[in-house]
Amino acid sequence: MTIAKAQSPIPTAARVHRFTYAIRNIVSEALKVEAAGTRVRYLNIGDPIAFGFKTPAHLITAVERAMRDGHNNYGPSAGIPVAREAVAAEYTKNGFPISADRVFITAGTSEGIELTLGAVVESGGEVLVPMPTYPLYTAVLAKLDAHAKYYRLDASRGWMPDLDHLKSLVTPATRALVIIDPNNPTGAVYPTETRRALLNFADQHGLLILTDEVYGDLGFDGPIAPYGLLDPDAPIISFSSLSKAYLAPGWRTGWMACGRSPRLDDVVAAVKKLADGRLCSTVPMQYAIAGALTGDRSHQPLFRTELKARADLTVNRLRAMPGVSCVAPTAAFYAMPKIALPPGRTDEHYVKALLHATGVLCVYGSGFGLPAEEGFLRIVFLAPLDELNEIYDLMAGFTAQYLQ
Ligand SMILES: Cc1ncc(COP(=O)(O)O)c(C=O)c1O
């Protein structure tokens, strides 16, 4: 071995360069601002715990008990039966009949998405992904050497999917349609006719339907039914978790539910094979799932009310800023305002300038796949109302100067 070779950096795989995740990448910039002495307001990541919301006590008790009772072993790769049964019963109750043997307990929604895309998409394959998107989809597809084909969500129509654009993107390589509803980053919920149109489109083209329903319990007016209710025989796989509506994101505990369509049988077997390879998801946390889905959920209506108040404040304050527009979210804890940028400026330039000037950290719309010159950014509005007011004061002052 030559000295030069011994001293050169160990090379990394090209796929890493294609893998981007703006929600966390932007934090390195914030740390610099913090090191320089400015207080940073982290509005980049959708974590209710970071803003003072509490995990329901009975879920913590269930996990604690599981650990004390010795459930610290590896579990079945698809999940413990009691958790799989609870997930199946929850979907079935909500109109999407699911049998427990078609449920997988996963390390959050994230792992379910990764297992499924890994099970169905070949290198070079294409998946229809909304734009803006939750960036995990594009990041996982990049890792698989597959392609995200972005279908537009239209801000001028309340962030509804542009179905004509969607139809224009299908090719023989298209494998699946990703639907995020309720949506991150826009906070939109699609009406039934839009949901039906998406399912019909997927049916016409024989596509697998991946429904990310992790915010399903966080509609401001109440829980949102799963897509499978509209067509229980469609090849739908639904993803959700304890992270958002059950206030336990750090537990990395979620699930995927595969519909009864026989067209999914091979996918279920393929996911099982991949799941075997990672042994199991965290076992003690799985013991909280049945309690979460069948026990006391009284935190949810309170949480929804808190979210609605924050959404109203956010929209009112943003719309009052000259040069800023914002579609009102109807679920979850995100808003996606648009800044009327001067020509030549980008969303990232605005977001970084805002951060450096005020310490307010948001994520630029291009981190979710939007064109940078369109001037969108995502705000997580989980902070208490008085803090949000301070944040919007800072943002208003900065934006007035920036757009001068
Ligand atoms: C739309 C969407 N899907 C999936 C996830 C990942 O969530 P989990 O913690 O369940 O992996 C998030 C997290 O923000 C999300 O917003």
Report the separation in Å between the CA atom of 239 and the middle of ligand 1, taken as the mean of its atom positions.
Answer: 9
Does 304 share its domain with 288?
no
Does 241 share its domain with 306?
no
pLDDT by residue (tens digit) across 316-373? 999 999 999 999 999 999 999 999 999 999 999 999 999 999 999 999 999 999 999 9
Find how far residue 306's CA is from the centre of its chain: 20
Domain termination site, one of 294, 325, 354: 294
Does 313 share its domain with 237?
no
Number of domains in the chain: 2
Distance CA 249, CA 168 (A): 37
pLDDT at residue number 377: 97
pLDDT at residue number 5: 64
pLDDT by residue (tens digit) across 234-266? 999 999 999 999 999 999 999 999 999 999 999
Report the separation in Å between the CA atom of 325 and the middle of ligand 1, taken as the mean of its atom positions.
Answer: 26
Relative to the CA of 111, which ligand 1 atom is closest? 11
Report the separation in Å between the CA atom of 370 and the middle of ligand 1, taken as the mean of its atom positions.
Answer: 19
pLDDT at residue number 6: 74
Q: pLDDT category, 20, cuts 50, 70, 90?
A: confident
Let me know: does 207 contact 128? Beta carbons within 8 Å: yes
Q: pLDDT category, 3, cuts 50, 70, 90?
A: low
Does 323 share its domain with 237?
no
Burial 95-105 (b: 16+ CB within 10 A, else e): ebebebebbbb
Report the separation in Å between the CA atom of 132 and the middle of ligand 1, taken as the mean of its atom positions.
Answer: 14
Domain termination site, one of 277, 294, 311: 294
Let me know: does 86 contact 294? Beta carbons within 8 Å: yes
What global pTM score does this model have?
0.96
Both tokens assigned to 362: 């948001």
Does 272 share its domain with 333?
no
Q: Which 3 state secondary structure label does DSSP give 339?
A: strand
With a cut of 80, say whether residue 22 has pLDDT above it. Answer: no
Q: pLDDT category, 14, cuts 50, 70, 90?
A: confident
Lowest pLDDT segment from 8-12, 97-101, 103-107, 304-308: 8-12
Q: What angle do CA 89, 228, 168 make, to 5 degrees?
A: 155
Report the separation in Å between the CA atom of 50 and the middle of ligand 1, taken as the mean of its atom positions.
Answer: 15
Domain termination site, one of 294, 323, 353: 294
Average pLDDT value over all residues in the chain: 96
The answer for 309, left when phi > 0, alpha when psi is -120 to 50, beta otherwise, is alpha
Segment 276-285 shows an average pLDDT of 97
Does 345 share its domain with 280?
no
Lowest pLDDT segment from 1-10, 122-131, 174-183, 367-376: 1-10
Distance CA 158, CA 141 (A): 27
pLDDT by residue (tens digit) across 208-228? 999 999 999 999 999 999 999
Residues facing 339 on adjacent strands: 324
Our answer on whether the CB atom of 241 is closer than 6 Å to any ligand 1 atom is yes
Does 324 share its domain with 206?
no
pLDDT at residue number 32: 94
Report the separation in Å between the CA atom of 224 and the middle of ligand 1, taken as the mean of its atom positions.
Answer: 17
Choosing from 23, 42, 109, 215 the residue with most ligand 1 atoms within 8 A of its CB, the one to mutate for a pocket test is 109
Our answer on whether the CB atom of 249 is closer than 6 Å to any ligand 1 atom is yes
Which helix H or strand E contains 150, and what residues bound it?
strand 147-154
Q: Which of 116, 112, 107 is nearest to 285 (CA)?
A: 107
Residue with tokens 């084909």: 149
Does 139 share its domain with 253?
yes
The residue count for the chain:
404
Distance CA 162, CA 177 (A): 14
- Going by their DSSP bridges, the two strands 103-106 and 363-364 should be labelled as unpaired
- Tell me the H-state helices in 39-105: 57-68, 81-93
Range(s) of the domain holding residue 383 = 3-53+299-402
Does 45 share its domain with 115?
no
CATH number at residue 334: 3.90.1150.10
Does 283 share its domain with 381?
no
pLDDT by residue (tens digit) across 38-77? 999 999 989 999 999 999 999 999 999 999 999 999 999 9
CATH number at residue 101: 3.40.640.10
Distance CA 172, CA 206 (A): 11
Distance CA 221, CA 302 (A): 12
With a cut of 60, say whether residue 398 has pLDDT above it. Answer: yes
Relative to the CA of 183, which ligand 1 atom is closest? 1
Q: Which of 377, 352, 373 is nearest to 364 (CA)?
A: 377
Our answer on whether the CB atom of 183 is closer than 6 Å to any ligand 1 atom is no
pLDDT by residue (tens digit) across 73-104? 999 999 999 999 999 999 999 999 999 999 99
Q: Give helix then strand counts, H and E, for the chain.
A: 16, 15
Does 145 share its domain with 244?
yes
Report the separation in Å between the CA atom of 135 and the middle of ligand 1, taken as the mean of its atom positions.
Answer: 10
Distance CA 101, CA 109 (A): 18
The reply to whether omega before 226 is within 30° of 0 (cis) is: no
Q: pLDDT category, 2, cuts 50, 70, 90?
A: low
pLDDT at residue number 214: 98
Report the separation in Å between the CA atom of 400 and the middle of ligand 1, taken as the mean of its atom positions.
Answer: 33
Does 47 share its domain with 62?
no
Q: Which of 137, 192, 194, 187 is nearest to 162 (CA)?
A: 194
pLDDT at residue number 15: 83
Query: Measured between alpha carbons, how far is residue 391 from residues 6, 314, 359, 382, 385 in Å?
Result: 50, 10, 9, 12, 10
Let me know: does 156 contact 306? Beta carbons within 8 Å: no
First to last CA, the chain: 60
Our answer on whether the CB atom of 48 is closer than 6 Å to any ligand 1 atom is no
- DSSP conformation letters of 231-265: -TTS-EEEEEESSSTTS-GGG--EEEEE-S-GGGH
Q: Which of 78, 75, 197, 198 is nearest to 130 (CA)?
A: 198
Choosing from 138, 180, 214 the residue with most ligand 1 atoms within 8 A of its CB, the one to mutate for a pocket test is 214
Let me know: does 65 contact 82? Beta carbons within 8 Å: no
pLDDT by residue (tens digit) across 286-306? 999 999 999 999 999 999 999
Q: For residues 160, 164, 165 and 167, what is the CA-based torsion angle, rounded to 10 degrees?
A: 120
Q: pLDDT category, 19, cuts 50, 70, 90?
A: confident
pLDDT at residue number 277: 96
Report the separation in Å between the CA atom of 320 and the middle of ligand 1, taken as the mean of its atom positions.
Answer: 30
Our answer on whether the CB atom of 180 is closer than 6 Å to any ligand 1 atom is yes
Tell the residue nearest (CA) to atom 16 of ligand 1. 184
Our answer on whether the CB atom of 77 is closer than 6 Å to any ligand 1 atom is no
Choosing from 51, 117, 134, 246 the residue with most ligand 1 atoms within 8 A of its CB, the one to mutate for a pocket test is 134
pLDDT at residue number 17: 80
